[in-house]
Amino acid sequence: MCQKQCRDENGFKCHLSSEGHKRQMEIFGQNPERIVEGWVGTLLQLVSTTSLCLLSPARPVAAALPAQHSCAQPGALPVP
């Protein structure tokens, strides 16, 4: 849930006791299904888009992808 990246175990322990983490856990506790469904949707979208890029050596889908997507950029993925 939290998007904080901790450098070490001590940083992780400090993060767990932070107000921001506690607030996020309270929000999650109020409606966990909504949060999980959001993450699942994001993951499925990422996997779907990545699969399209990896399955097509010629990458014809690249033209249909947003410019910021890695497959839409020349040389982003090696062609086998």
DSSP assigned state of 77: S
Does pLDDT of 72 surpass 50? no
Per-residue pLDDT, 57? 55
Same structural domain for residues 51 and 75? yes
Calpha distance 34→28 (Å, rounded)? 8
pLDDT in tens, 20-65: 999 999 998 998 888 888 888 888 888 877 766 655 555 555 555 5
Q: Do 13 and 43 share a structural domain?
A: no
pTM strictly above 0.75:
no
**Residue span of the structural domain in which 78 resides:** 33-80
DSSP labels for 5-74?
A: --SSHHHHHHHHTSHHHHHHHHHHHH-HHHHHHHHHHHHHHHHHHHHHHHH-TT-GGGGGS-TTSGGGST
The total of structural domains in the chain comes to 2
Q: What is the DSSP letter of 79?
A: -
| pLDDT score of 5 more than 90 | no
Do residues 79 and 54 both lie within one domain?
Answer: yes
More confidently predicted of 67 and 46:
46
* Same domain membership, residue 62 and residue 45: yes
Under a CB-based contact definition with an 8 Å cutoff, are residues 49 and 61 in contact?
no
More confident residue, 77 or 47: 47
